Chain A
Amino acid sequence: GESVGLHLPTLSVQEGDNSIINCAYSNSASDYFIWYKQESGKGPQFIIDIRSNMDKRQGQRVTVLLNKTVKHLSLQIAATQPGDSAVYFCAENKGGADGLTFGKGTHLIIQP
């Protein structure tokens, strides 16, 4: 089964509010995690990454939190904008050559 999953398939937030998208992973050997954004009809785009030796990493309007104790990853988007509407995927790298394992995705909907 999926080693990476998401708690909610759809998240609806008001424009200007903060969004939190969650992800659970099951492989304790995973050492690298990435959040991707996928807009309709496009390929996934890198948002932010975090290594297993970190708990938090911040980018422009985005923050990723990693809780290795409970194998949980979250993406926080500050002051969401209409352009943030997309499907968000978390992905983990277990360190081998067989690439990233993706979760099923969360569809973020921004309400005006």
Chain B
Amino acid sequence: NAGVTQTPKFQVLKTGQSMTLQCAQDMNHEYMSWYRQDPGMGLRLIHYSVGAGITDQGEVPNGYNVSRSTTEDFPLRLLSAAPSQTSVYFCASSYSYRVNTEAFFGQGTRLTVV
């Protein structure tokens, strides 16, 4: 049981480049989300999805797109990378937002934009 898998673990981008961070979970969880973690800022919600075909914006969505075509996958796309997007990105999943249960996190993707 792999849980939540994120790829890649590390990435360096040039300003203006685009890329997709991959996230997959094998727990058949309805709810998936993306956070970014910056020093002194804790984890901030970028986008979330309550089920396949449904996505919504979190606290800091600008510059990012998501889609949820399957229950398992929730990729995060950076449209035109900026240095302000240098951060560690975490994908998380949980059973359902309607039930208070823990969120399971991936190992993170450390992104540097130069």
Contact = CB atoms under 8 A, between A and B. Distances in A.
A63 to B, nearest CB: 17
B100 interface: yes
Contacts, number: 61
Contact of A34 (B33, B40, B90, B102): B102
A104 B56 contact: no
Interface stretch (A11-19, A68-76, A93-101): A93-101
Band of interface residues on B: 20 to 34
Interface stretch (B69-77, B79-87, B103-111): B103-111
Interface class of chain B by DSSP:
strand
Given A31-B100, A99-B33, A99-B45, 9 more contacts: A34-B102, A43-B90, A43-B106, A44-B43, A44-B105, A46-B102, A98-B56, A100-B45, A102-B44
Contacts of B40: 104
A41 B107 CA distance: 8
